[in-house]
Amino acid sequence: MSGPSVSRRHRVGGFTFIEMMIVFVVLGIMTTMMVRSVRGSWYAASRRAATRDVTAYLFRGRAIAIQQSRAAWVVRSGDVLKILVDSSGTPVQLGTPLDFWQRYTAHLGASPTDTIPFDPRGFTPYPTVAPRIIVQYAGRTDTVCVTGLGKITGKSC
């Protein structure tokens, strides 16, 4: 009764090195795929948050112009947005500037100019070309447009 079948029964159970390597390789592939999709979602969420902040800043500049019945400007300087208000003919900065590179590591662009003016009624003086601010993050871009009536949209102009 001490044949080969008996000795196999008394062996300690476990996994072989090859089985463990296959499991780790499959887990590594699945983890890589998951990390790529999560990273893409995180980048998209950060870009959308930066775009929402640009939109909120433009709405704030327009609201200040209307509330104070004075000209106001939203000015892009590099990756920083700031609001200026007319104070007896002199532009004065209102509030704190928002640095998009520091907060989101996003770059800002603007077209056709870096300054978006709002008159005391909240209108912008651009009858033909809608000013836009472009948010660039992780190789993708979002655009925020301002029409002549002061309407601010996140769609392409």
Half-sphere exposure in the Cβ direction for 16 (13 Å, CA): 3
pTM, whole model, 2 decimals? Answer: 0.73
Coil, strand or helix at 118? strand
Instruction: Give the pLDDT of residue 79.
Output: 93
The predicted structure's pLDDT at residue 61: 92
pLDDT of amino acid 70: 94
Tokens 């005391």 label which residue? Answer: 120
**Helix (H) or strand (E) run with residue 76 in it:** strand 72-77
What's the confidence (pLDDT) of residue 2? 54
Selected from 3.40.640.10, 3.40.50.300, 3.55.40.10, 3.40.50.2000, the CATH number assigned to the domain covering 16-153 reads 3.55.40.10
C-alpha dihedral sign at 58, 83, 70, 64? positive
Q: Using CA atoms, how far apart are residues 76 and 98, in angstroms rounded to an integer?
A: 10
DSSP string, 20-72: HHHHHHHHHHHHHHHHHHHHHHHHHHHHHHHHHHHHHHHHHHHHHHHHHTS-E
What is the distance between the alpha carbons of residues 145 and 122, in angstroms, rounded to a whole number? 15
Provide the CA 40 distance to its chain's centre, in angstroms. 12
The whole-number average pLDDT for the span 130-148 is: 87
